[in-house]
Chains A and B, each alone.
Chain A
Amino acid sequence: MSNVMVNVPKTAKPGEMIELKALIMHPMETGFRSGTNGRIIPRNIIQRFAATWNGQEIFAMAFSPAIAANPFVSFFAVARQSGTIEFHWTGDEGFDVKEQVAITVG
């Protein structure tokens, strides 16, 4: 069950700078820790996060094992056109989560 919280203003004026926030539940297991049985817990991290605005990529970042669990990302974008903003997280163990929000510019 994916568990995501995204925070994007519903409306913006053309040319306005808006803040986009994205929070996702994920253990971000480093691959360096050992479990109670002494064996290494396999790495399980998000590898890439990207955001697209009407299909065009506006933000992307690569994650590393040093990033804490339940990572929070905040970034800015200039509002130019109404449409859909899509957030996309991909990672180890086939992790693939998408979340869409609509925004009206005008």
Chain B
Amino acid sequence: MTRRLGLALLLVAFATSWVLAQTAADRRRSGYQDMGEALQKMQDDDGGNPGLLFVQLGRQLWDKPAGSGGKSCADCHAIAGMKGVAARYPAIPKGADKPIDLEGRINLCRTDHQRAEPLAPESQDLLSLEAWVAYQSRGVPIAPTDDARLVPFRARGETLYRLRQGQLNLSCAICHDDNAGNKLAGATIPQAHPTGYPVYRLEWQTLGSLKRRLRNCLVGIRAEAPGYAAPDYIALELFLMDRARGMPIEVPAVRP
């Protein structure tokens, strides 16, 4: 009798911990859930989401030959094969030892295969191409690669995430872990999951990369924002993508 009761209690304990584990996982929220209904509708409306203008532009650029190689992206890649790519980047390209993000990958293709100039950071062409590639992964759960070589870079990203910096002496974690859901002035602090990059931000009135977003935060805490080529951005992106593992890609997301 006691044994049976013990077994039942054990089962209840297992069930409770399982439920708790599930709710803990569910506590992750995309920035989508923290914005107003009007903006959610704007993102969901395939006839009104302004990010889709860039996706459309990216589709045109995809087929357009560039550089002295005279090749277009489409000459090598079928666009359908790009599904899931945005969900696993940053990654280490063949023959290299450092990770690059999707933008880095696009520019590597340009310089190596198309023999063209790399596109400037935040340029409309680069963002549009990135949006077109990432759009193929819309709805795909974020699934970072388990490449062991990425571990130290990801660890560096986590260190940066928890590092207090700038005149305000804040870390990313203080806002986006400890105070997510609270207000910063009138705005709800999101949990900072990079589910929708490149994102159409109303404040920017254009599409912008995750790097631009990170630089915005750095300026906000009055820290020095390194240049676009800094490897620390990739490290942070690696950590953030791992933190958002399993959450669906929303490109092109709309954010306030």
Contacts and interface: CB of A to CB of B under 8 A. Distances in A.
Interface string B50-65: 1011101100100000
A21 B47 contact: yes
Interface in A1-58: 1, 3, 5, 7, 21, 23-25, 28
A68 B205 contact: yes
Interface residues of B, number: 13
Contact of A25 (B46, B48, B53): B53
Query: Which of A3, A24, A74: most chain B CB closer than 10 A?
Result: A3
B34 to A, nearest CB: 22
Nearest to B64: A1
Nearest to A69: B205
A31 B52 CA distance: 26
Contacts of B202: 68
Interface in B34-75: 46-48, 50, 52-54, 56-57, 60
B53 A7 contact: no
Q: Which 4 A-B pairs have the closest CB atoms?
A: A7-B47, A69-B205, A70-B50, A25-B53
Interface of A: 1, 3, 5, 7, 21, 23-25, 28, 68-70, 72, 74
